Amino acid sequence: MRVFFITYFVFLSIGCAAQRPLKPGSFSVSTRSVIITESSSPDKKGLFGVRFPDKYDKGFPKSKVDAFRVRKEDIHFSEEQVREIVAKTFRSKIKNVGHSMVIIAVNIKFEQDGRVASIIYSVSDKFAVVTIEDLATIDKELREDLKATFSGKDYLDHQIISYPIIRIDLCE
């Protein structure tokens, strides 16, 4: 019986260690890297910026025009799909913690063909509910499943089309 408990706690420890809470630095998740920064402001402790490096790390291509004229109404995709992907990742965790208040802001940029070009996450998580692995799961799913279409012609002047930030409040 004693061996059973020791074995159980060893496996439990390994599982917990694999779930890394957010902290500043560069990390690897599976075969992907992630860069995390934390706000230096004392009143914003627990506010993190998270990005998974992509082909636009050195900057986005220049637009044909200086002013960005694409309106939110001209960018079409399911914002609800983004909210659901994020929410389902945290649904059971938030329930188990019970006192958590997590806010995730998702900033998505699209290529002209509607594919996701870049995603940056801002995470407010004072209770360490969000892990690097959670965000890697969300990022992978959004990049695979999300596709935008555009109306009008203004988007043709831009190789990268930015959508306004989507704020998702996860609280129990």
The total of other beta-carbon atoms located within 10 Å of residue 29's CB is 18
- Please list, in sequence order, all residues whose beta carbon lies within 8 angstroms of the beta carbon of residue 132, skipping any fewer than 6 positions away: 20, 21, 22, 27, 29, 34, 36
148 vs 10, residue with greater confidence = 148
**Cα–Cα nearest to 89, from 33, 18, 139, 147:** 139
**Cα–Cα nearest to 86, from 47, 59, 125:** 125
User: How confident is the model at residue 100, as a pLDDT?
Assistant: 59
pLDDT band of residue 4 (cuts 50, 70, 90) is very low
Q: Reduce the DSSP state of residue 83 to 3 states and report it.
A: helix
Q: What is the pLDDT of residues 90-123, one digit of tens each?
A: 877 766 655 557 789 999 999 999 999 999 999 9
Question: DSSP state, 153?
Answer: S
CA atoms of 115 and 107, how far apart (whole Å): 14
**Cα–Cα nearest to 36, from 120, 110, 106:** 120
Q: What is the value of pTM for the model shown? A: 0.80
Structure tokens of 172? 């129990």
- Please list, in sequence order, all residues whose beta carbon lies within 8 angstroms of the beta carbon of residue 89, skipping any fewer than 6 positions away: 134, 137, 138
Q: Mean pLDDT over all residues of the chain? A: 81
**Cα–Cα nearest to 124, from 68, 60, 167, 76:** 167
